[in-house]
Amino acid sequence: MSNDELMARISSRVQPTAKPVAEAFRRPSEPGKRTTIYMPVSTLTGLKHAAVEEGDGANVSRLLTRLAEEYLAARKDGTRT
């Protein structure tokens, strides 16, 4: 098999990337900002598992963003527990 034939076979199987990572985390109306947080390894592992189980492109960043938004909305409404 020639190099060209091999490249043709490989390229037919390679899927293009969906979008750059930074673009995947960004909302259309608001740019994202990177931050660093420290938490127990077991908590981070649990968050990663939860993100995978949710599917639909979920990841830890999106999960934490959603949780933070829910917390802030509840705090604003006075319904925070």
In the chain, where the domains are located = 3-77
* pLDDT, position 55: 80
Look at residues 22, 24, 48 and name the one whose alpha carbon lies nearest to residue 33: 22
- Mean pLDDT for each consecutive 10-residue tract of the chain (81 residues)? 80 68 64 90 94 84 91 86 57
**pTM of structure:** 0.57
Q: What's the pLDDT at 73?
A: 93
- Cβ atoms of residues 79 and 42 within 8 Å: no
Residue 48: what pLDDT? 92
